[in-house]
């Protein structure tokens, strides 16, 4: 075992590969730190010597996004999570993104990691989590799996936080988000309703240049294909394209253009498109919360599919993250 004193901030680094595709998943949070094809970054990740900044590549469970004052009630249980977004008095992004995850199986092109979330004030149930990252001809597929190991029913939600990059500033990129509604939020980022996006600056149902549009926006009423998938995409003027798809287990996409990131040099270089099973504050509102009976499991899948531009590789590709 590697000496802990020599480990990177995100713990052991697990690399998988298939053809030109390479991905690195970290021990801390089972976080997707890097995904590249032919050495060109598909996600705007982070380096080996830093903990994941701004949620990059993290798994958000047992709830995604914000939770009002970190408190909720569920079937006679009270949850009280730490306020890790203190400026808005919210708990954010669940409880497992900084925990160590253990490798349970691996191959050259795939890896599975697992984590047990034991009962605690923020979540008084025992939850067994597992995630598989697999590379193939269609890109990267991510398969999360959750099982309730408690005697009673447990609430559950999950999200993921990849930042996609096509090698150009966000202003120049074209975005497609097949969703007909967006969530309205209060100043603390908590939903207060939803409205149609049609004919507004938030309408990306057909491909449109992002330009100066600022997004920290939850999308719902997702438009699915015949296979049940929703496919959002980002593309660069020279033809480089990255798509993110979700299966029917995910009913929400959070889209964030990175306008408030620190340091300022990291702003609007990548765009976060975050699959979520439920909206922000779901444990408090009850909206789309998954109810897992004792011993019951949930599974879903999503993925990232990159497409290189025709001809020679573009010189405007993102700087590789090492």
CA–CA distance, 158 with 146 (Å, rounded to integer) = 9
Q: What is the C-alpha to C-alpha distance for residues 81 and 93, in angstroms, rounded to an integer?
A: 11
Q: Which helix (H) or strand (E) holds 117?
A: strand 110-117
Question: CA gyration radius for the chain?
Answer: 19
- Give the largest Cα separation in the chain, rounded: 61
Rounded-to-integer distance, Cα 64 and Cα 156, Å: 10
pTM above 0.85, yes or no: yes
Helices (H), the chain: 282-285
Distance CA 279, CA 290 (A): 12
pLDDT tens by residue, 31-58: 999 999 999 999 999 999 899 999 999 9
| Structure-token match 């090698």, residue found | 167
pLDDT digit string (tens) for 230-269?
A: 999 999 998 899 999 999 999 999 999 999 998 898 899 9
Q: Is 214 exposed, middle or buried (0-12, 13-18, 19+ CB in 10 A)?
A: middle
Q: Is the pLDDT of residue 319 over 50?
A: no
Percentage of the chain surpassing pLDDT 90? Answer: 90
Question: Which tokens go with 299?
Answer: 């599974």
In contact, 99 and 11? CB cutoff 8 Å: no
The DSSP bridge partners found for residue 24 are 15, 34
Cα separation, 272 vs 64, in Å, equals 14
In this model, does residue 313 exceed pLDDT 70? no
pLDDT tens, residue by residue, 8-28: 999 999 999 999 999 999 999
> 3-class DSSP state for residue 4?
helix
- The mean-pLDDT minimum among 74-88, 200-214, 308-322 falls in 308-322
Taking domain 4-291+301-307, whether its CATH number is 2.70.98.10 is answered by yes
Q: In terms of Cα–Cα distance, which of 142, 307, 301, 156 is closest to 230?
A: 301
- pLDDT of 3 reads 67
> Where along the chain do its domains lie?
4-291+301-307
Give tens-digit pLDDT for 139-186.
999 999 999 999 999 999 999 999 999 999 999 999 999 999 999 999
pLDDT for the residue numbered 239:
84
């Amino acid at each position: 075992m590697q000496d802990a004193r020599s480990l990177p901030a995100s713990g052991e680094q697990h690399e998988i590969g298939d053809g030109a595709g390479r991905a690195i998943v970290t021990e801390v949070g089972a976080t997707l730190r890097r995904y590249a094809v032919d050495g060109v970054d598909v996600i705007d990740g982070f380096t080996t010597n830093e903990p994941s900044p701004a949620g990059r590549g993290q798994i958000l469970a047992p709830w995604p996004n914000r939770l009002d004052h970190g408190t909720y009630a569920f079937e006679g249980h009270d949850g009280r999570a730490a306020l890790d977004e203190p400026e808005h008095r919210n708990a954010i992004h669940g409880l497992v993104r900084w925990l160590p995850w253990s490798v349970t199986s691996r191959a050259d092109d795939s890896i599975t990691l697992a984590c047990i979330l034991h009962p605690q004030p923020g979540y008084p149930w025992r939850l067994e989590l597992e995630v598989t990252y697999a590379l193939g001809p269609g890109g990267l597929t991510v398969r999360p799996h959750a099982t309730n190991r408690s005697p009673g029913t447990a609430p559950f939600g999950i999200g993921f936080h990849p930042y996609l990059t096509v090698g150009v500033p966000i202003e120049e990129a074209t975005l497609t988000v097949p969703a007909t509604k967006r969530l309205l939020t209060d100043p603390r980022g908590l939903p207060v309703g939803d409205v149609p996006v049609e004919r507004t600056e938030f309408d990306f149902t057909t491909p449109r240049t992002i330009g100066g549009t600022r997004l920290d926006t939850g999308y719902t009423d997702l438009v699915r294909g015949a296979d049940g998938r929703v496919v959002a995409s980002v593309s660069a003027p020279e033809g480089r394209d990255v798509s993110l798809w979700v299966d029917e287990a995910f009913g929400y996409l959070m889209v964030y253009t990175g306008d408030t990131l620190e340091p300022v040099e990291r702003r609007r270089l990548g765009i976060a498109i975050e699959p979520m099973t439920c909206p922000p504050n779901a444990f408090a509102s009850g909206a789309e919360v998954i109810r897992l009976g004792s011993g019951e499991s949930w599974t879903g899948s999503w993925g990232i599919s990159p497409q290189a531009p025709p001809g020679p590789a573009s010189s405007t590709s993102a700087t590789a993250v090492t």
